[in-house]
Amino acid sequence: MHLSGRNCFVVSYDIMDPRRLQRVHKSMKGFGEPIHYSVFRCNLTPKGRVELIAALTGLIKHDQDRIMIIDLGPADGGADDRIEFIGVRAVDSSPKAVIV
Amino acid sequence: MPDLIPARMLAEFAYCPRLCYIEWIDGEFADNEDTVDGRFQHRRVDEDTENDPMDDDLEAIHLRSVSLAGPEVGVTCRIDLLEKEGKRATPVEYKRGKAPDIPEGAYEPERVQLCAQGLVLRENGFQCEQGIVYFVRSRKRVPVTFDKALVKRTRGLISELRRAAIEKKIPPPLKESPKCNRCSLAGICLPDEVNLLREMEEKRGSEKGIMVRVRKLIPARDDYQPVYVVGHGNSLRKKGDVLEIWSRDEGRIKEVRLREISQVNLYGAVDVSTPALVDLMQRGIPVLHFTRGGWFQGVSLGHTHKNVELRMKQFEWAADRKRSLAIARSMISGKIKNCRTQLRRNDPEPSAAVLESLDRLSRDAKKASSAEKLLGIEGAAAELYFGRLDRLLKGNEDFSLQSRNRRPPKDPVNAVLSYLYAVLAKEMFVTLLAVGFDPYLGFYHRPRYGRPALALDMMEEFRPMIADSTAITLFNKRELGDKDFIRTGLGIALTSKGKKTVIGGYERQMEAEITHPLFGYTVSYRRIFEVQVRLLSRVLFGEIKEYPAFSRR
């Protein structure tokens, strides 16, 4: 169903200017979890994916920076199994009710 | 006399009259992938001047984003690009998709939109014989001639939409249309649900109890999740697109992406920074404030809902005793049915007599001649039901339910039930606000200062399977124990940890996916809340005659 399911995306970026890098990092934190320097994992709906692209498009310099977005398929369809961690595991980013 | 019709709305009206009505008259909107992408692509089109496909003609004057009104035609428009040569003008409309492979070159909505723009241009003294649709994906200009037939169709649609706006009558949903599949407003419009209920009302009685499968056009669960912060000494701050939760003793304890939040619930003295509050308001995320004990104190919300028509209808119905009673009867009948289902499914030795009495009371509720009678029937059913509920607490002999009591509850089970009813009431409150209702004016519960009467009405049918069921599970699975309760002078209260356990159990239940008894699709309870509230609005607008309470078999 195009409306509900989330896909797992790995987003990585090279930003040539430190200020822009900071802005991109801050913006990315609104979409997913940082799993490495300049690499995020985001579980996004189709709408979220378009919002991510729109947000990043407005932030980067298109002749200097580059961003790669890899779609790992449905977040609940074993996308996590296709990511292998060696060493410290990154935290899960699937949204659920927060009770503090 | 309504305002001038935006040409874009006329295109929507040609595509689906109901879609246009919901957006323009009701002021409702919902985004999906397509609408977000549409705006994004359009923004790029507006900025994209270097690669302008029209630049090869240097003679002409090009104007971008031209706003123009035509009071005679009754239309206002924003023209993406206007090509002007002396008195001759040609509007160009950008569309993000590919050019369709049809003889007309463009679909009717686009042609009508352009033609309306053309009529406005003519009224403003231009010569305008044709327009152009520019399809961004295929980089193709498709000319549209404003011939007699198109002008006639356009004018016809303008007066039809005008009539719908004056009469305030929502056009019926499309039937089985593939257009609904990608429509972002399907969850508001509920096309198949409304069509089904109307059909059932037409041939009443003949197919009682038959579950019909309709297309699932609404998502199974929410994209957004609630945040609960329990206990004083916590504070909320905003950093970029992230909401941070800080504890006085432990520093930053949690980060939540603002994009993924549906509501924020604050129990006890929790601080919220102004930037965080304003951001939440801008995103339309309600912030609900409760006392430490769970008493609902109020809500911080951005601009309220635009759907004024719905609130006017609600006040009209609430002032009418007969119509209020009709809605209340369905709700209470549904609630009693659900109490019965709860016992039938979970009582280890269900009492045939009690089940039969509940069945009878549920039917009596449907026919109650006054609100007072209905209250009596509800009371009788509650007594029977709560009298049996203790037997459902089979897994945990430490706890029992002697009778339902409150203010303050005298035993742990009642404490948990009271707490859960308060959480359920706020859930309904938030859903009602989101749909555009006034939660304080009910049809069954009478208004009293600060009491969200409509939320209490709407939650009746959900009490047994959400609140009662959650309480029973929490005790039976021993997720709650003695240490989760404290004895106060007057009664029993939950500890802070106990409250979090109860909220956790409640959230599990709300996210559980169940099959809708009427529509046959599988969705979460939270979604069903919204569907029920929207169906109630369809009743007030006269689209369906009787409120179909949610009842499981």
3-state SS track over B483-543: HHEEECCCCEEECHHHHHHHHHHHHHHHHCEEECCCCCCEEEHHHHHHHHHHHHHHHHCCC
Burial (CB count within 10 angstroms: exposed 0-12, middle 13-18, buried 19+), residue B450: exposed
Q: Is the dihedral of CA B63, B66, B72, B75 positive or negative?
A: positive
In chain B, residues with a C-beta closer than 8 Å to the C-beta of A32 are: 257
Nearest neighbour of B256 by CB, restricted to A3, A51, A98: A98
How far CA B146 is from CA of B76, B100, B114, in Å, comes to 18, 19, 9
Residue from B426, B344, B334 nearest B389 by CA: B344
Residue from B307, B228, B236, B324 nearest B275 by CA: B236
Taking the C-alpha atoms of residue B237 and residue B221, their distance in angstroms, rounded to an integer, is 28
For residues A3-21, one letter each, b for 16 or more C-beta atoms within 10 angstroms of the residue's C-beta and e for the rest, the string is bbbbbbbbbebebeeeebb
What would the two tokens of residue B34 be? 């397509």
Nearest neighbour of A96 by CB, restricted to B36, B218, B225: B225
Q: Measure CA of the first residue to CA of the last residue in chain B; give whole Å.
A: 49
Structural contact between residues B212 and B520, judged by C-beta atoms closer than 8 angstroms: yes
In chain B, residues with a C-beta closer than 8 Å to the C-beta of A54 are: 36, 39-40
Residue from A98, A90, A46 nearest A71 by CA: A46
In chain A, residues with a C-beta closer than 8 Å to the C-beta of B217 are: 3
The pLDDT score that the predictor gives to residue B150 is 93
Nearest neighbour of A100 by CB, restricted to B217, B229, B259: B229
Residue B529 CB coordination number (10 Å): 24
Taking the C-alpha atoms of residue B20 and residue B9, their distance in angstroms, rounded to an integer, is 6
pLDDT band at A99 (very low <50, low <70, confident <90, very high): confident
pLDDT tens sequence across B300-321: 988 866 778 889 999 999 999 8
Alpha-carbon gap: B421 to the closest alpha carbon of chain A (Å): 18
Taking the C-alpha atoms of residue B172 and residue B96, their distance in angstroms, rounded to an integer, is 29
pLDDT tens sequence across B175-228: 888 888 888 888 888 888 898 888 887 776 545 555 566 777 777 777 788 999
pLDDT tens sequence across B472-485: 999 888 888 888 88
What would the two tokens of residue B352 be? 């045939």
Single-letter amino acid code for the residue at B502: V
Mark which residues 24-53 of A lie under 8 Å from B by CB. 26-27, 29-32, 45-51, 53
Length of chain A: 100
Taking the C-alpha atoms of residue B304 and residue B446, their distance in angstroms, rounded to an integer, is 23
Yes or no, beta carbons of A1 and B220 under 8 Å apart: yes
Best B259, B502, B510 residue to mutate vs chain A (most A CBs within 10 Å) = B259
Taking the C-alpha atoms of residue B48 and residue B53, their distance in angstroms, rounded to an integer, is 10
Yes or no, beta carbons of B228 and A99 under 8 Å apart: yes
What is the interface pTM, i.e. ipTM, of the complex? 0.83
Tell me, rounded to whole angstroms, the distance of Cα B10 from its chain centroid. 25
The pLDDT score that the predictor gives to residue B50 is 42
Tell me, rounded to whole angstroms, the distance of Cα A29 from its chain centroid. 8
Q: Please, what is the average pLDDT of chain B?
A: 85
Alpha-carbon gap: B268 to the closest alpha carbon of chain A (Å): 12
How far CA B503 is from CA of B12, B50, B434, B437, B500, in Å, comes to 43, 56, 22, 25, 5
Please tell me which residue of chain B has the smallest CA distance to A56: B40
The pLDDT score that the predictor gives to residue B395 is 64
3-state SS track over B170-219: CCCCCCCCHHHHHCCCHHHHCHHHHHHHHHHHHCCCCCCCCCCCCCCCCC
Q: DSSP 3-state assignment of B83?
A: strand
Nearest neighbour of B257 by CB, restricted to A3, A30, A50: A30
Is any Cβ of chain B less than 8 angstroms from the Cβ of A19?
A: no
Of the listed ranges A92-96, B28-32, B224-228, the one predicted with least confidence? A92-96
Taking the C-alpha atoms of residue B14 and residue B16, their distance in angstroms, rounded to an integer, is 6
Chain position carrying tokens 């021993």:
B478
What would the two tokens of residue A58 be? 């407005």
pLDDT band at B60 (very low <50, low <70, confident <90, very high): low
Alpha-carbon gap: A84 to the closest alpha carbon of chain B (Å): 25
Q: What is the CA radius of gyration of chain A?
A: 14
In chain B, residues with a C-beta closer than 8 Å to the C-beta of A28 are: none
Q: What is the pTM of this model?
A: 0.84
Q: What is the DSSP string of B117-185?
A: HHHHHHHTT-B--EEEEEETTTTEEEEEE--HHHHHHHHHHHHHHHHHHHHT-PPPPPSS-GGGGG-TT
Yes or no, beta carbons of B240 and A29 under 8 Å apart: yes
pLDDT band at B257 (very low <50, low <70, confident <90, very high): very high
pLDDT band at B2 (very low <50, low <70, confident <90, very high): low
Yes or no, beta carbons of A100 and B254 under 8 Å apart: yes
For residues B331-356, one letter each, b for 16 or more C-beta atoms within 10 angstroms of the residue's C-beta and e for the rest, the string is bbbbbbbbbbbbbeebbeeeeeebbe
Taking the C-alpha atoms of residue B359 and residue B333, their distance in angstroms, rounded to an integer, is 9
Instruction: Answer yes or no: is pLDDT of B52 > 60.
Output: no
